[in-house]
Structure 1
């Protein structure tokens, strides 16, 4: 395919991806209030007049960025929801643009990795959302006695978005290792030999990347990622065994030599 055809194909793929993002963003904009309520739902006791709650746990949600803040907030939430909602479309467009340059087995592996990567990311995002109440409660607990925490809603949305992205991307690490193994870059034996360093690295990453420093949030990230790492080692080990068995079959001594055919034909002559 000439360069102009590649550029035309890229333009068409980008137009479809952007169109899908715009469509889902417009649809999300119609329900942005419900989306904001869903995001801030994990905040515990966010009412300065909460009866019976300790003062250190009382908080109020405010918008402090000026007159345009509600519109900017609605646009940010709608665009984020649009990117997430249209992710199957634009991910497919990226794959469809790259697929013609791949071999048949590479296309098969790419589809499999994409099919596994999306659920892994969503699982990490779901865990991040599930622990947001604990994260918010721990952070609010640092409020001095007699004071009320005033929480800018856009700050909490940024924190929630960062937590979802961190957890979602962290859950992609085992898939990356499996991809490198299938590509022949690393072996399962090498991956297993890294287990001490991987556990320490995952724990340190969880301590740094999580929004709060409470042990529950760190374990909620480090535990599943460590389990997925060992699962990736098991998958890589099975793949190495399959590859070794395939190579052994290719060099089997019981296989007839291609030189025997001319010899037999000469004898029969």
Structure 2
């Protein structure tokens, strides 16, 4: 086994070391995703009992919004009238289970691969930037989970609206691929959309976006959010669009208020001379005690008389020197 090189105290690394570091962290992230995928694959049809608490299977959790619909709004494919989704191919159940398990594996392994991404980036950041990075990563995870949870609870209302249109003449029979594709896409769109306020806050902290530049554009921002929600929701139902638009409006307003507070704090800590033009000289302070103020003269000191040297005539006229 090769000896591991000692890390440089300044954090400097060669290109080869960077590639090795990236490969090591990528392998750790992939291993965590594989482990999470295996857990999701087993959990897909496994109901867990822990200390009398029943944890439903993953398939039952994801099938919950569809099964919560009225029985007359969905087609029944079993003799007992149980809630089941339709499969039209022999490999559909397996591929659907593998797809859902992979997505669950990415979510379960997110603390690991986020930590690896952070560990790869932070050696090149300053101490203050590392602190902000950890804060933003934590907030990003919380916002994504909050958006996905909100989408999970409103998907039943969206499906009820979509499946009851024309139910007098037809009954909708959803396949597992179609339903889970719709559900997972809605969860992903809500989770990613909830990161918009975080991006606004990051741009403000970086000094790119200020409160003065967006405080008068609230109407335009709200209109853009509603248009964004109308185009991005996969079902185009009014319930999902309204929930996404209203949630984003509230979160963006929180981000705008954060920009206002952060800019006010930054102005208090910023000295006035930083706002001056680089080519102009700073005015000197001529007030008493200032830089250009007249300074009092010191009292003159007494000069001691210099003793006169006594010369004794030697009778030499220095002719031999001349």
Distance 1:257 1:158 in 2: 71
Q: Which residue of 2 aligns with 1:159?
A: 182
Worse-superposed segment, 209-218 or 11-20: 209-218
Q: How far did 1:258 drift? A: 9.1
Aligned residues: 255
Aligned counterparts, 1:246-261, within 5 A: 246-248=269-271
Query: Equivalent residue for 2:54?
Result: none
Q: Aligned-pair distance for 1:146?
A: 4.1
For the pair 1:149 / 2:172, whether they are aligned, the reply is yes
Report if the CA contact (8 A) 1:143-1:149 is conserved.
no
Aligned equivalent of 1:21: 33
- Check conservation: 1:44, 1:136, Cα contact below 8 A: no
Aligned residue number for residue 233 of structure 2 = 210
- Aligned partner of 2:242 in structure 1 is 219
1:10 alignment partner, one of 22, 28, 51: 22
Give the counterpart of 1:102 among 125, 138, 151. 125
8 Å contact from structure 2 (residues 69, 156) kept in 1: no
The runs of 5 or more residues in structure 1 that have no matched partner are: none
Distance in 1, Cα, partners of 2:96 & 2:132: 39
Structure possessing the higher radius of gyration over alpha carbons: 2
Question: TM-score of the superposition, structure 2-length normalised?
Answer: 0.73
Gaps of 5+ in 2: 1-12, 46-56, 77-84, 275-284, 300-322
- Offset at 1:19? 0.7
Residue 198 (1) aligns with residue 210 (2): no
Compared CA separation, residues 125 and 136, structure 1 to 2 (3 A): same
- Contact kept in structure 2, 1:44 and 1:137, CA below 8 Å: no
SS in 2 for 1:213: coil
Aligned to 1:114: 137
Greater RCO (Cα-Cα under 8 Å, separation 6 or more) = 1
Question: Could you tell me how far apart the structure 1 residues matched to 2:226 and 2:37 are?
Answer: 36
Find the aligned partners of 1:20 and 1:213 in 2 and give their Cα distance. Answer: 35
Q: d(CA) in 1 for partners of 2:118 and 2:292? A: 45
Computed over aligned residues only, the root mean square deviation of the Cα atoms, in angstroms, reads 2.6
